[in-house]
Amino acid sequence: MGRGLILGIESSCDETAAAVVERGAKTLASVVASQIATHLRYGGVVPELASREHLRAIVPVVRATLAEAGVSLGDLDAIAVTSGPGLAGALLVGITYAKALAFAQNLPLVAVNHLEGHIHAVLLQERQTAIGEPSSDSPDAQSLALVVSGGHTHLYLAQPSAGTWRYSLLGRTLDDAAGEAYDKVAKLLGLGYPGGPWIDALARFGNPHAVPFTFAQIKAKAHLGGKAPRTKGARTAPIAELDPHFLFSFSGIKTAVLRYVELHGLRAEAEARVPRMLVAGHPPETREDALALCPQATLDLIASFQHAVVGDLMKKTFAAAEAVDPERILVTGGVAANRELRERFTAEAQRRGIRIAFPALALSTDNAAMIAAAAWPRFVAREFAPAELTADPALVLGRQGTTDSWT
C-alpha cells in the first residue's frame, strides 16, 4: 500500500462531489459542485436534470479534486463510490465513472452506502481534529446515529467491530424525511431551495410557540399491518420489528402548515415571494432583512414549524438513547447543519450527561470526503466491490430493529 489515498466520488442526489482522503483521517481535497441553480426554479430535485448535470460535472470535479490534493491518479490506492441509496440515474454517473477509473488505473473499487458515509462524516471530522491532539473524543465509540437529511431520517446504532463498522437500524421515517419537510414547507412559503438554510435563518426572528404543531405518537398497529409503507425507502425497512417510539412521520406537519397558511391569509404573500427567490440569494441574517422578506406572522409560523420538527427529532433520538445506552450520540446529514437543532440537542445531551457530536457544517451536507472516509475500513478489510456493481436506489444499511444480530 502507498499512502492510503482514497478518491471518493458521490453523485446520489444533487451534488457532484469528489475528495481525496488519506487513511480515512485526513482530507487532502474535497470539491462539491452543487446543482442548486438547476433545481431552484422547480423547488426540488428533478431526477433527469440531476443526471445530466452529474454527467457534465463529474470529470471537471474529479480533476479539480486531484489538482487541489496535489496527487495524480497513479498515487491513489483505491476509488470509493456511493452505490446507493439515491436517484438511480444520478448514482449511475458516479458508479460508471468510478468503475472506468478503477479499471484503467488497476485500482480496487470500494462501494459505500450513502448513509454510512454520513455517519463517517462525523468520524472523519474527529480523526482530523485528533491529529496532534490525542485527548479528543474517540471516534471508535459505539454510537447512536441520527442521519437526518433530504432523503433520510434514520436512527442507527453504529458499532466498531474488528476494524470495520456494524449498523443496526432502530427507527426511521414512515413517509417524508425531515429535510424533505423543510424543503416542502419552504416551497409552500415561497422561500428558496433548498429550504433548510432559509427556514434555519428566518426561524430566529419568529416566536417558536406561536403555532402549537404536534406530532402524534405512532401506534404500533398503524405499521404492523404487514403492508409496505408508502415510501421510497420501503424496501430499506420492514418496520414491523422497529419500536414505534423510534418511528418518525413528517408528512402531517407539511399539511398542517399548508392549512395554517390558508386559514391565516398568508398564501398571497408567499406567492409574491417566489419571483424574488429565482435569483440566487442568501437567507437573511438580520431582523430587518427577515422582515423585508416575510411578515411577522410568517416568521412565527416558520419558527414554530422548526421548533416542532427539532423537538420531535430530539424526543425520539433521546428515547432511543435511553433504550440502547450508547457511548455517544452522532447527528449527521444536511438537517444537522441546523442551528436550533445543534443547540437543543447539545443542551439536552449535556443535561443527560451523554456525549454528542456533529460534523462540521461542510461535512453535514452531501460531500465525497465522507464517502472516502467510510471506504477506508472496508479497503483495509479488502471488501471490494464486484465488477458488476450497479446503482441500488434503495440500498439497505445494516440490520433492522435488533442490536444483537448484525450483517
Residues near ligand KG4 (CB under 6 A)? 13, 149-151, 179, 182-183, 194-197, 200, 333-335, 337-338, 365-366
Residues facing 355 on adjacent strands: 328
Q: Which has the closest alpha carbon to 312: 231, 228, 252?
A: 252
Give per-residue burial for 174-204: e unless 16+ CB within 10 Å, then b.
bbbbbbbbbbbbbbbbbbbbbbbbbbbbbbb
Q: Nearer Cβ to ligand KG4, position 51 or 149?
A: 149
Q: Nearer Cβ to ligand KG4, position 300 or 366?
A: 366
Measured on CA atoms in the order 69, 88, 337, 238, is the torsion positive or negative?
A: negative
Q: Nearer Cβ to Zn ion, position 211 or 313?
A: 313
CB of 147 to Zn ion, least distance (A): 8
Q: Nearer Cβ to ligand KG4, position 82 or 168?
A: 82
Q: Nearer Cβ to ligand KG4, position 108 or 179?
A: 179
Please report, for residues 269, 280, 388, the alpha-carbon distance to residue 274 in angstroms, rounded to integers and kept in the order given: 9, 12, 45
CB of 135 to Zn ion, least distance (A): 31
Residue 182, contacted partner among ligand KG4, Zn ion, none, CB below 5-8 A by kind = ligand KG4
Q: Are 284 and 204 in contact (CB under 8 A)?
A: no
Helices vs strands, H then E, count in the chain: 13, 11
Residue 183, contacted partner among ligand KG4, Zn ion, none, CB below 5-8 A by kind = ligand KG4
- Measured from the Cβ of residue 63, the count of other Cβ atoms closer than 10 Å reads 12
CB of 54 to Zn ion, least distance (A): 15
CB of 39 to ligand KG4, least distance (A): 11
Q: Are 305 and 185 in contact (CB under 8 A)?
A: yes
CB of 335 to ligand KG4, least distance (A): 4
CB of 86 to ligand KG4, least distance (A): 8
Residue 401, contacted partner among Zn ion, ligand KG4, none, CB below 5-8 A by kind = none
What residues make contact with Zn ion under the rule CB under 5 A? Answer: 149, 366
Residue 208, contacted partner among Zn ion, ligand KG4, none, CB below 5-8 A by kind = none
Residue 200, contacted partner among ligand KG4, Zn ion, none, CB below 5-8 A by kind = ligand KG4
CB of 58 to Zn ion, least distance (A): 18
Residue 206, contacted partner among Zn ion, ligand KG4, none, CB below 5-8 A by kind = none
Q: Which has the closest alpha carbon to 107: 384, 392, 391?
A: 384
Q: Nearer Cβ to Zn ion, position 13 or 266?
A: 13
Q: Are 307 and 202 in contact (CB under 8 A)?
A: no
Residue 89, contacted partner among ligand KG4, Zn ion, none, CB below 5-8 A by kind = none
As given in the structure block, the three cell numbers for residue 87 are 436517484
CB of 15 to ligand KG4, least distance (A): 7
Residues facing 8 on adjacent strands: 19, 80
Residue 337, contacted partner among ligand KG4, Zn ion, none, CB below 5-8 A by kind = ligand KG4
Secondary structure E strands in 192-341: 328-332
Q: Nearer Cβ to ligand KG4, position 108 or 283?
A: 283
CA angle, corner 404, sides to 402 and 405, nearest 5? Answer: 80
Secondary structure E strands in 77-181: 78-84, 109-113, 143-148, 153-161, 164-172
Q: Nearer Cβ to ligand KG4, position 32 or 102?
A: 32
Q: Ramachandran region of residue 346, left (φ > 0), alpha (ψ -120 to 50) or beta?
A: alpha
